[in-house]
Chain A
Amino acid sequence: MNGIKHTVGIMITVICITILAFGLIRLTPGDPVLLMIGERGSDPIQYQKVATQLGLDKSITEQYQNFLSQAVQGNFGTSVVSSRPVKEELLARWPATIELGLFAMLLSLLIGIPAGIIAAVYRRRIADYVVTISSLVGYSMPIFWWGLVLILIFSVTLDLTPVSGRLDILYDIEPHTGFMLIDSLLSNAREEYQLDAFASALHHLLLPGIVMATVPIAVFARITRSSMLEVLSEDYIRTARAKGLSEFRVIMFHAFRNALIPIITIGGLFFVSTVVAGAILTETIFGWPGIGNYIVSSVYARDYPVIQACILVIGMLVIIVNMTTEYLYRLVNPRMRH
């Protein structure tokens, strides 16, 4: 019964997302065709041509039906700017976003969780205050400003990192997978540049990765801390200690494992917001050629089919991640399995 309810819930959400993706653009004031032809002074033939091209000459219900039937087949129409299929344009840009997103995720897990554990174990001691205050600052950091400050300090003043881009301009690497770390290790690139190109790709990931990971690090640290504090006061921890287990074993195997549940839930959700929301700002600052950057330039160029497809795809991604998170949650917590 629960399963059916769950599926219906998902279906409703999916339909809402399609209506949102479809409707948002049509709710924005102004005639999109006129906006597109713009200042050059439109002639009626050109107007009609663009309207037909966008399917805007049909009724709203017809447009929605077309949009749905095409989207189900993975066809999101043609980009107004490039005249190429939107699907192709999106596929070409996902690897960059995923690469950066995974790297940022890795950073936030590696830094955020240990910081949270330390803060919980050394509660109300200096380490705890440092973690709590830094995570508060990190969480409230305006990302755009933070990115520019890091560029100024690490790239321009200290000359430690590159300002922007995915790879040093010197390395001319043929794209195969779109993941720079992988492409730089593939045969041709490897032969020509050994591991230098790979090192350069990693080097370029560092600053945008840190910027993108800033908020998630803070969130992970806070969640881990509060979750650990709760668990550490449980009776079974006292029992574990009484059995004479080492403090490390108590914390890592007894406390941390049980503290993981909220971390996974939040982590799953944050992965999406890291990849999407973070990507929009981070990618714009660092000239990172991913989806976030593409959404921004499409909004500026009023490339409606692209914006529509992005809302839809990202919406779907959130649903998928939520479902996966739920699954993981059940895996970690046996009580939730039934």
Chain B
Amino acid sequence: MKLSNKFIQIFLAGLLTSPIAYASENIVYCSEGSPESFNPQKILSGTGRNATSLTIYNRLLEFEPGTTNVIPSLATSWDISGDKTEYTFKLRKGVQFHQTAYFKPTREFNADDVIFSINRQLDLKHPYHLVGGGAYQYFQGMGMHNLIESVEKVDNYTVKIKLNKPEAPFISNMAMPFMSILSEEYAAQLANLGRKENIDTLPVGTGPFKYRRYLKDSVIRYNAHASYWQGKTAIDNLIFSITPDASVRYQKLKKGECDIAVYPSPADIASIQKNEKLELRELDGLNIGYLAMNTEKPPFNNLSVRRAIAHALDKQSYINAIYLGKAKPAINPYPSTVWSYHEDIDTYEYNPQKARQLLKEAGFDKGFKTTLWTLPVSRPFNPNGRKMGELMQQDLAKVGIEVELVTYDWGTYLDKVKRGEHDIVQLGWTGDNGDPDNFLYTLFSCDSVDRGSNNSRYCQKSFDSLIKTARSESDRKKREALYQKALQIFSHDVPVIPIAHAKVYRALRNTVSGYIMDPFDVDHFYNLEVINK
């Protein structure tokens, strides 16, 4: 009897316990999913980047928070050889790895760690290469396995990376999550213990937070790294509360169960803005939703037809209806957060009359019939392909172009587009490294027609030579000038019609300070502080 009384007491206590106020040194971050691994070399998702590369690890170079600029981090400086194929990095001294329950470092960060981290991904015979499956999708996806020839230790604090060919975006790639620096000493210790796979589940890095515990799909706990090389963070503990549903994240935020919530639902945005205790932040995402015309097929090989279509589409109406206003109309193939963005180009305002005129010039007085492929999946850069297709169909009908809407399942869609079977197709791109090359070369170079994502199959010699020159040029000013020229040609030729850059949102409690919105759609935790309001 006594036992059951006790149980009832506890049960009631549980019922009536009011939420305990969080200690001021904790930040609770409501994330939307679980990381696929704790090794950023094996991660593709934004969720995973936040949980690893921005908390536990550093790279030789980093993106300056809130921008796509590359700044020194574990490397203090770098030199590029005359032929632009050798990069010599000077490493920072006095950088400590995390001391955790499972690893006690005996030395500071040095060249061995850099070599280990790169060679694990590069060298197929590296003892750690096959640990956890041997797939380094981002490293390979960015072409690093073909680009890097070797990584050499010059001395303890100098590393030389040799490339097979000059390639300027290499520097931006060095700041990407998959180039995070792991501890070679820890790897050696695990190899001795026969537990190599732990390197991806019990992480050790040099970042501002050290890993404490992960309860699958539930909570990730980090403690501040007391001897962090930039100084200890203002907060003591960082906690990821994994909450997949956006409405629930919002309720948790309102109730104070989390301090920052990712990806608020568009339906909640107005209500967040009205709530005095909350703050909504927004920024143009590093993405582009576009409509590509197959320039290899008539009538889209005709410039006037492409320009006519560009004038026929009312982008603003799509932004209102499809993105619910949460996007910005696009004129460049990348948003203004990417350097070399160019406003002084042909922008093709909505003008059906002009469109009809251009069609007449092209010899299509009575218009023509074509197909438009609508995106079968929802993506931030195009949340509802079908609905957008219907609006486009109406717009194009007004200028005499009769459009049949077509779609396939996602795999088939990509496959058929790759083979060039389409007329007009909706697609999009999300940037990886903030370099203009990542958009222009991937989406519009002649090389990418057959292997890559050049879905308009646009191959124009002067444009192609400009972006290729810019690719091998390391002077940023020169590159910027080259890209701006390339954008002029692009906007003149209009192989794709840039539609919109979807915005990214975060909701935070107003007790959080130091939060920086980032175009890569990731979160920075180092500068966070809790303030009393």
- A residues sitting closer than 8 Å to B (CB atoms) are 29-32, 34-35, 38-41, 43, 46, 49-50, 53, 78, 81-84, 89, 92-93, 96, 148, 151-152, 155-156, 159-170, 172, 174-175, 195-196, 198-203, 206, 284-287, 289-290, 293-294, 296-297
Contact = CB atoms under 8 A, between A and B. Distances in A.
Contact of A175 (B215, B239, B242, B409): B215
A78 B26 CA distance: 35
Interface stretch (B130-138, B278-286, B467-475, B517-525): B130-138
A148 B249 CA distance: 11
Contacts of B133: 53, 78, 83
Contacts of B418: 41
Contacts, number: 157
29 contacts: A30-B411, A30-B412, A40-B137, A81-B36, A84-B201, A93-B217, A151-B251, A155-B255, A156-B255, A159-B19, A160-B16, A163-B252, A163-B255, A163-B257, A165-B218, A168-B20, A169-B22, A170-B23, A172-B212, A174-B213, A175-B215, A195-B10, A200-B17, A284-B244, A285-B245, A286-B248, A289-B216, A293-B217, A294-B217
Contacts of A174: 213
B362 to A, nearest CB: 31
Given A50-B135, A162-B257, 11 more contacts: A29-B411, A31-B412, A31-B415, A34-B411, A156-B251, A160-B16, A163-B257, A166-B215, A168-B20, A287-B248, A289-B217
A118 to B, nearest CB: 22
B26 to A, nearest CB: 7
Contacts of A199: 10-11, 13-14, 17
Interface string B1-37: 0000000001101111111101100101000011011
A297 B219 CA distance: 16
* Most central of B17, B42, B140 by chain A CB within 10 Å: B17
B368 interface: no
A53 B135 contact: yes
A152 B251 contact: yes
Contacts of B18: 159
Contacts of B17: 196, 199-200, 203
A293 B15 contact: no
A39 B414 contact: yes
A286 to B, nearest CB: 7
Interface stretch (B388-396, B445-453, B476-484, B491-499): B445-453
B287 to A, nearest CB: 11
B243 A287 contact: yes
Contacts of A170: 20, 22-23
A203 to B, nearest CB: 4
A271 to B, nearest CB: 23
Contacts of A175: 215
Given A206-B14, A287-B245, A163 B251 contact: yes
Nearest to B26: A169
